[in-house]
Copies of this chain bind each other. A is one copy, B any other.
Amino acid sequence: MSSTETAKPSRREQILTAAAELFARHGFHGVGIDDIGAAVGISGPALYRHFRSKDAMLGEMLTSISERLLDGGQARVDAAADAASALHSLVRWHVDFALEDPALITVQMRNLANLTDPDRRRVRTLQRRYVEVWVETIRRTVPSADEPTARAAAHAVFGLINSTPHSAHLDRDQMASLLSRMALASLTAADLAPLTA
């Protein structure tokens, strides 16, 4: 009874974390099964005691991150009093997530193409739903934006926030503050759909 629940996440989670780091740095195909093993102190084929295949690791990792992102985002929006604060906490949620786990965010951005077909379908569905949460929230705060514009703006903001890993120049709090402010400011400019700049 000393540690019935805290001790469980050991190996599997450990492997996933290490693999995420490696995938983020070298790309899925740039990382060997032996590299992942070495990163957690075991060697090579031992990983197959925990995962069915290398693809399964990526699949599980991307599925879980997409689910967490969607659930957390939805929860923040549901809990918000008004549209403006919904958008605010949605931004804050994504920023915190990206700063908390830069490797995972990077993998999700870059390695969708390396998923197995069924895995890719599942992840894309989750991502689409997450985007939908954003689109709705954006349109509630910036009513003059039509739907395609809001969608494009959402993707652009994801790009802005997810660019985190490439610049560690600031400490976490400053970075979070900067990214949040930039994201929100950029979204307020997402109105006036047509007309050249």
Nearest Cβ in chain B — how far from A191, in angstroms? 9
| A152 lies within 8 A of B178 (CB) | yes
A169→B152 CA distance, assembly (Å): 7
Residues of B within 8 A of A166 (CB): 155, 159
- With A167-B152, A176-B197, A182-B187 in contact, is A30–B113 under 8 Å at CB? yes
A15→B178 CA distance, assembly (Å): 41
Nearest Cβ in chain B — how far from A107, in angstroms? 11
Chain A interface size, under 10 / 10 to 19 / 20 to 34 / 35 or more:
35 or more
Nearest Cβ in chain B — how far from A97, in angstroms? 15
Residues of B within 8 A of A174 (CB): 149, 193-194
Nearest Cβ in chain B — how far from A146, in angstroms? 10
| B163 lies within 8 A of A27 (CB) | no
| B190 lies within 8 A of A182 (CB) | yes
Residues of B within 8 A of A162 (CB): 159
A114→B160 CA distance, assembly (Å): 23
Residues of B within 8 A of A149 (CB): 169-170, 174, 178
Interface membership of A189, Cβ < 8 A: yes
